[in-house]
Amino acid sequence: MPYLYQDSKPRPAAHPGGARGTHSSGKGYEQLKQECLRRGVLFEDSDFPACNSSLFFSENPPIPFVWKRPGDIVKDPKFILGGATRTDICQGDLGDCWLLAAIASLTLNEKTLARVVPLDQNFGPGYAGIFHFQFWQHNEWLDVVIDDRLPTFNGRLVFLHSAELNEFWSALLEKAYAKLNGSYESLKGGSTIEAMEDFTGGIGEMYDVKAAPDNFYEILEKALKRCSMVGCSIDTSSAAESEARTPSGLVKGHAYSVTGIEEVSYRGQQVQLIRIRNPWGQVEWNGPWSDKIDTAAGHPSPKEMAASSLLCLLLRMKFEDFQMHFDKVEICNLTPDALEDSTAHKWEVAIHQGSWVRGATAGGCRNFLETFWTNPQIKLHLTEKDDGQDDCTFIAALMQKGRRKLKKLGAEMLTIGYSIYENPGRDGHLGKDFFRYHPSKARSKTYINLREVSHRFKLPPGDYVLIPTTFEPHQEADFCLRIFSEKKAITEDLDENIAIDLPEPLHPTPSPQETEEEKQFRALFEQISGKDMEISAEELEYVLNAVLKKTKNIKFKNLSLISCRNIISLMDTSGNGKLEFSEFKVFWEKMKKWISIFLQFDFDKSGSMSSYELRGALKAAGYQLNNYLLQLIVLRYSDEQFQIEFDDFLNCLIRLENASRVFQALSVKNKECINLNIGE
């Protein structure tokens, strides 16, 4: 790898709230704002310019949009007018209703809203045409800076807007989120839980209400005690059903928010009630336990429930009615740092970042056994049972990173999932045979092409291994795996520790009697080199290829001149750039071992080896490498079909041995690190 003297790219400034700045200048919101005020100009964001590329990547705008600042649209623009409410969220001509539903849920939680939408922004004194918003992305908070130029047509906002024509926080929030994801078009199509996670840093769960687990009431109860954001909705079977009102007053396709759940005593019986808020506020549940039902129909009036904490809620129903009328529930479980309520029951959280790299760690699902074992492996140690339970509850959420932003390059969401196995007590990477003979203990409910796949599990205390995968092998992506557990769980990458087991270098020694093989080599040497018995890289190329061609069980292609130069650099002890016959004999012993290893892992005897088998082949040669180094080597030495020719395998081993010998020579007392000067 090249030696990096200095990173010339400016590092983004940290935001006072703990979020990392993202502007390419390396400057934070306040610095950019003050510069504009000092110069007397309005901010123009070069990272997300007011042009068509920020709108669409697959087509030109269907109408001529004009980018305008709020002050050019209305006379008295406001950032937030009378508080952030559901009426501030009106959908425009972009298919991002999933985002709108998440923003509507966000308005129900003032503290969470204030983090995403800093409230100290306005169009009054100190206005500089710059605004900022904060989003969670892959285990860190980002501070996204934008200018306030918004796309309009005929003087009106085209996309998300407020019912109050002079209120702009929601339109600016949508623009910041579009910038985060590359363009407005990138926001077409998605799930509400995706945006809820980006607003909170939480883990999402989705439940089919009609097929919910038996303890679904308990799951919702615990979620609300942890201050989780909970949404629910009724499915539509066609576009015509969208926003259709049911006989009970509910609306299909709308996102409702669950805000409370409680078991109350009524007329000598325990009744489970659930509290729901309709962010759109236009219709209301008219079934049992609604405020419109009186005691004459056999239901309680509001006065009878005056002591209940569920009294003054807009929508209120029995839990069994909820299960009958709603189809989907989405839960966004918040991380401890997002919970300011000290009394809230908090999750324990563990996070792992990783990558699927073609040819190395992109093995696909269990259907592809030959490569499945090469996927990243995460060790999970469950130590404590849940309170009053025999098992340990945890949520495993696997997220593919950055795919929405890559839409403009043709990328789509990959189909992802994971499997969980009992760990037999091994510390290193589990091999192919383990998965051949051991079934999974648990797995994600399905493989699906969503940004995140999550599932709740209850397993006995013990050691497990979680395997995150794409469905098909050879698909590349970065991923983030998060584990939320009720009690503390210990997680770590089940990766190999780097270890090198090389024999002491052999020195040329005269043998009392030459073998038949040595006699043949000597004759060939004398024929090519002359009496000095030294050969150059070009001559070595001829010798080796001549010998390998005569070997019947080898289907190698010719070795390259570069390989022969590398061989001489490894074996030349005199430093004259040539190989003596005695040095060649030492190398040939290495060569025979490396040929044997290659043939062992060339399963189809084609003369090439699958790059997914490289881990085992290198280990047989004395090199135990971690995933990171393995990925780099595969990128360097494998072809487009994830195959490694013997010539490349040979070069890889020569490079590894050279590097190992240098490290051993420079290390002091077998330390795991060395200091190098520029000469070294």
Q: Does residue 24 fall inside a structural domain? A: yes
Catalytic residue list: 97, 254, 278
Residue 668, pLDDT score: 62
Residues 234 and 216: their CA atoms lie apart, in Å, by 17
Res. 676 pLDDT band, cuts 50 70 90: low
- The residue among 338, 371, 406 that closes a domain is 338
Is there a contact between 364 and 468 (Cβ–Cβ < 8 Å)? no
Share of the chain above pLDDT 70, in %: 86
Residue 511, pLDDT score: 58
Matching residue, tokens 């040329």? 508
- Asked if residue 252 and residue 105 are part of one domain, the reply reads no
Question: What amino acid is encoded at 433 in this protein?
Answer: D
Residues 677 and 140: their CA atoms lie apart, in Å, by 35
Is 679's pLDDT higher than 70?
Answer: no
Is there a contact between 250 and 285 (Cβ–Cβ < 8 Å)? yes
Tabulate helix, strand, coil % of the chain (nearest 5): 30, 20, 45
- Asked if residue 152 and residue 51 are part of one domain, the reply reads yes
Residue 21 is classified by DSSP as E
Is there a contact between 416 and 470 (Cβ–Cβ < 8 Å)? yes
- Pick the range with the lowest mean pLDDT from 147-151, 159-163, 478-482: 159-163
CATH of the domain at 632: 1.10.238.10
- Asked if residue 328 and residue 354 are part of one domain, the reply reads no
- Asked if residue 331 and residue 368 are part of one domain, the reply reads no
Residue 305, pLDDT score: 44
Residues 513 and 312: their CA atoms lie apart, in Å, by 101
Is 292's pLDDT higher than 60?
Answer: no
CATH of the domain at 467: 2.60.120.380
- Asked if residue 489 and residue 356 are part of one domain, the reply reads yes
Q: Does residue 672 fall inside a structural domain? A: no
Domain, as residue range, for 169: 20-200
Number of Cβ within 10 Å of residue 288's Cβ equals: 16
What value does the mean pLDDT take over residues 561-590? 84
What value does the mean pLDDT take over residues 524-553? 79
- Asked if residue 212 and residue 144 are part of one domain, the reply reads no
Q: Residues 317, 323, 327, 328: is their CA dihedral positive or negative? A: positive
- Asked if residue 433 and residue 384 are part of one domain, the reply reads yes
Chain centroid offset of residue 457 CA:
21
What value does the mean pLDDT take over residues 74-80? 93
Angle at 531 between CA 528 and CA 535, to 5 degrees: 45
Q: Does residue 9 fall inside a structural domain? A: no
Long-range contact set of residues 526-533: C-beta below 8 Å, sequence gap at least 24: 533/580, 533/581
- Asked if residue 36 and residue 153 are part of one domain, the reply reads yes
Chain centroid offset of residue 49 CA:
28
Is there a contact between 361 and 477 (Cβ–Cβ < 8 Å)? no
Residues 433 and 420: their CA atoms lie apart, in Å, by 16
Residue 362, pLDDT score: 94
Which helix (H) or strand (E) element contains residue 93? none
Q: Does residue 677 fall inside a structural domain? A: no
Q: Does residue 103 fall inside a structural domain? A: yes
- Asked if residue 274 and residue 145 are part of one domain, the reply reads no
pLDDT digits (tens, 9 = 90+) for 297-356: 444 444 444 334 333 335 788 999 999 999 999 888 887 655 455 545 678 888 999 999
Residues 333 and 207: their CA atoms lie apart, in Å, by 13
Q: Does residue 585 fall inside a structural domain? A: yes
Higher per-residue pLDDT: 280 or 449: 449
- Asked if residue 532 and residue 654 are part of one domain, the reply reads yes
Is 294's pLDDT higher than 80?
Answer: no
Average of per-residue pLDDT values in the chain: 83
Which residues are CB-neighbours of 511 under 8 A, at least 6 positions away? 518
First to last CA, the chain: 14
Number of domains in the chain: 4
- Asked if residue 414 and residue 481 are part of one domain, the reply reads yes
Chain centroid offset of residue 39 CA:
41
Q: Which DSSP string do the residues of 290-319 spell out, in sequence order?
A: STT--GGGTS--GGGGTTSTTTT-SEEEEH
Higher per-residue pLDDT: 256 or 362: 362
Question: Considering only CA atoms, which of 173, 425, 196 is closest in space to residue 331?
Answer: 196
pLDDT digits (tens, 9 = 90+) for 410-444: 889 999 999 999 998 877 899 999 999 999 999 99
Res. 583 pLDDT band, cuts 50 70 90: confident
Higher per-residue pLDDT: 155 or 661: 155
- The residue among 171, 200, 229 that closes a domain is 200
Q: Does residue 230 fall inside a structural domain? A: yes
- The residue among 200, 227, 244 that closes a domain is 200
Region class of 577: left (phi > 0), else alpha (psi between -120 and 50), else beta: left
Q: Does residue 267 fall inside a structural domain? A: yes
Is 238's pLDDT higher than 90?
Answer: no
- Asked if residue 171 and residue 261 are part of one domain, the reply reads no
Residue 345, pLDDT score: 62
